[in-house]
Structure formats: C-alpha cells, structure tokens
Structure 1
Amino acid sequence: MNLLMKSLPLLFILWAEAASAAEYQVTITGMKFSVPPAEMHVGDVIVWRNDDIFRHTATAHDKSFDIDLPSKSEGRLTISRAGAVDFYCRFHPAMTGTLDVRP
C-alpha cells in the first residue's frame, strides 16, 4: 500500500473536522452582549462584534480568552474546550454572559 493510500483516512478525518466547524456571532449593542448560541462545539468559531460606540472586551473569568474590541470592530475566537465559561467586559463588569460549549 503506498503512502497516499495510507494517509487518506487521516486526510478524511482532518477534512471532516474542518468542514464541521461552525461560525457564530456574539454582538455587543447598547452595553449588552447578545445571547450566545446554544449549539456551540469545540472547534467552532465565535465572531465577537462590537457595534457600540464604546470600547469593550470579551474576557473569560477563567482567563482562557481576553478579546479587545474597540468600537465598530470584530474579534475571533476558536473554541478550544467544552464546558461553561462565564465572560464579562473588563471596562464594564456588569456586562456578562456564559458560553456553553459541547464536545
């Protein structure tokens, strides 16, 4: 069996994992985070979009991410682990939310 035939199963698995990743958006408007989608999985991408006139962050309480979001900007996060992660804005701590990520 040649090398190409041996690597096909691995290539298929890598392609299937990449093809199954979804992209979700969490928007900041009026000093509030939108509700994160409930169907997020490890490997999915969250696009954080700040539509406010103020600078914000999306910061995990467990320090697993900290995304700076100037006004009218976006930031991306690839989800790396399952579980619930509470987040907030460092500049406006009353702005909070929770990501519930499935395996």
Structure 2
Amino acid sequence: MDLLMKSLLLFTLLWTGSGVAAAADYKVTITGMKFGPPPAELKVGDVIVWRNDDIFRHTATARDKSFDIDLPPKSEGRMTISRAGAVDYYCRFHPAMTGTLDVRP
C-alpha cells in the first residue's frame, strides 16, 4: 500500500472514530400564539428552524440579545446555536409568549 493510500485510510479511521456528532436540525413551531416545545437535546452547532404558523407576526428573541428572529405570518427563520447554556426567549410583539433553550456543549 502506498503512502497516499495509508494516509487516506488513517484519516478515514480517525474521522469516523472521532466521536464528533453531526449537527442536527430542529423545528420550533409557533401556533395559537404559543411557542411549541423547545428541543430537548440541543447542542452547540445545531440549527433551529423557527416556523410561524400564526396569522400574526412574531419574533423569537433571546433575552440576552444573542438572537432575534423576525417571523412574518406563515414564514420560517433559521439560526445556528453558537454557545452552551440556558437561553430564555420571547416574542417582542407578544411578551407573554416565552420559552427556554437548554443547550449543551
């Protein structure tokens, strides 16, 4: 086996055995003036697709200002989670609409 083949084999073994999990996509749907339940297994690097199924405009806004997704009626917005910890969020237009993301490293 030549050096290139050995290097590729070693790279493949290291990559597949590294334990690095792929990022996942999750959806949080807004309907009936409420956020749906947040995903339970969030990790840094995961993507949340915020879906507004209401007839009203909403936002998904972090209280710590780490994200602010504007969601006109019947629209979606995406965000990639960049840090671990608990993040409380709300709708700027309807402050009684709230939730919390619990993100693991």
Provide the TM-score with structure 2 as the length reference: 0.83
2:36, 2:104 → 1: CA distance? 19
Matches within 5 A, 1:14-53: 20-53=22-55
The offset of 1:37, in angstroms, is: 1.0
Which residue is equivalent to 1:70? 72
Structure 1 counterpart of 2:104, one-letter code: R
Q: Alignment RMSD, CA only?
A: 2.4
Give unmatched runs, 5+ long, in structure 1. none
- Percent identity (aligned): 79
2:97 paired with 1:95: yes
Provide the TM-score with structure 1 as the length reference: 0.84
Structure 1 counterpart of 2:60, one-letter code: A
Structure 2 counterpart of 1:102, one-letter code: R
2:37, 2:63 → 1: CA distance? 17
The offset of 1:73, in angstroms, is: 0.1
Give the number of the structure whose residues are more often helix, by fraction. Answer: 1
The total of aligned residue pairs comes to 99
Structure 2 counterpart of 1:20, one-letter code: A
Bigger radius of gyration: 2
Matches within 5 A, 1:5-16: 5=7, 8=11, 12=15
